[in-house]
């Protein structure tokens, strides 16, 4: 089997997932919509990937290393750090 090029999902991951040189983890920002008192609220979270390929990823310091996150919580086996609203 030969590889003819990257697939759409691989190219999309290269644009969405970034690499932090400070903690040497890859990270991704996620927007999760919550329903509170009949209204919709969108919270921003960051998840870190420790064993992830860094080749082709943009080198940007993650919000966790910059100190822009609050508590961590688990969601479907992912650890999410909530980004502090500015």
Strand (E) or helix (H) holding 85: none
List the pLDDT tens digit at each of the 86 positions of the chain: 445 556 777 777 778 999 999 999 999 999 988 888 888 888 899 999 999 999 889 999 999 999 999 989 998 888 999 998 76
Greatest CA separation found in the chain?
54
Q: Do the strands 58-59 and 69-75 form a parallel or antiparallel pair, or are they unpaired? A: unpaired
Which pLDDT score, from 0 to 100, does residue 86 have?
60
């Amino acid at each position: 089997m030969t590889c003819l090029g990257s697939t759409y999902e691989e190219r999309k991951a290269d644009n969405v997932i970034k690499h932090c040189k400070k903690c040497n983890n890859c990270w991704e920002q996620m927007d999760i919509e919550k329903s509170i008192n009949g209204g919709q609220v969108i919270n921003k979270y960051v998840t870190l990937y420790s064993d992830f390929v860094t080749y082709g990823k943009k080198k940007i310091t993650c919000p966790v290393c910059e100190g822009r996150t609050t508590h961590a919580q688990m969601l479907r086996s992912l650890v999410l750090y909530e980004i502090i609203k500015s």
